[in-house]
Amino acid sequence: MERSENIAAMHWTEARDLLRCWREENVRESSKVVDIWESALTKKMNKLGDEKLLVLEQVCVAALDCNRQEVAELCLKALRAEFPTSLRVHRLRVLQLEALQQYDEALDLLEKIIKQDETNAAPRKRKVAILKAKGRTSDAIKELTEYLKKYMSDQEGWQELCELYLFEQDFNKAAFCMEEIILHNPHSHLIHQRYADIRYTQGGTENIEIAKAHYCLALKINPNNIRALYGLFMCSTNIALNPKTTPVKRKGASKLAKWALKELNSRYEEKCVQVTPMAALEGLINAVHITAS
């Protein structure tokens, strides 16, 4: 990676090897990729052989990341000349249209790509992203729901659908999406915590009980999850103060709430030993803040 520091003096073979390394390792150094292209590879493309098209694609995506439309257009023009009907090149054109905020044209092109290859998941997900960017949340939900009927094991798809439902404040359906994610990945403390957050937000005795159970699971998997510990305290307190709770359950919930509070105080005191009280408090608040799993 040290070779990337002096881009201006880089030999074209060194530039080629560095871009190849970044492609293989999925490194997205967009601004550096464009700089390398302009300083070392623009006039040497014919020497790249079969790697030329991969480099053009890599530079095109990097240029769009950096809003270098002239570079992206140059790469796209070269790729279209080689493969005028390629769906892969069409997808790059979609990215360009998105960067130009020409969303309707991008959607039209995506529809054509999907019709030509209905088994390709990437353009369908891209379509959802564009609909979301346009603020058409209902359409994005509909499209993503259809997508997940065919690709039910896509955890990222379920996560995105959950976020869309949360945006619409449809907590019931958001919880269902999290349940699907739990089935695919039952050992993630963040997923259990997120599901518990949704259930707690829904409210009601049954949902609070479910939230408590999943906060417990999150803590079992990762005892350092402060958010889950705080959530467990809130759920247990809620159950203990509910007049409909049976005496036995109230006693257990009260005990659990005291334990959770004791643990929270203990974590706070541990932080205070190492840093100032204000920094410790900020650290705990950041840990308690609800984040996407």
- Kindly tell me the sign of the dihedral angle through the C-alpha atoms of 268, 269, 270, 273: positive
Closest CA to 233 of 203, 197, 261: 261
Closest CA to 127 of 168, 157, 159, 100: 157
Contact in structure between 196 and 231 (CB atoms under 8 Å): yes
Could you read off the pLDDT tens digit of each residue along the chain, which spans 293 residues? 444 456 767 788 888 889 999 999 988 889 999 998 888 888 888 888 888 889 999 999 999 999 999 999 999 999 998 888 888 899 999 999 988 989 999 999 999 998 888 888 888 999 999 999 888 999 999 999 999 998 999 999 999 999 999 999 999 999 999 999 999 999 999 999 999 999 999 999 999 999 999 999 999 999 999 999 999 999 999 999 998 889 999 999 999 999 999 999 888 887 776 655 556 555 655 655 444 43
Give the distance, in angstroms, between the CA of residue 218 and the centroid of all CA atoms in the same chain.
20
Q: Which amino acid is at 163?
A: E
pTM metric for this prediction: 0.77
Query: Is residue 162 packed enough to be buried (19+ CB in 10 Å), middle (13-18) or exposed (0-12)?
Result: buried
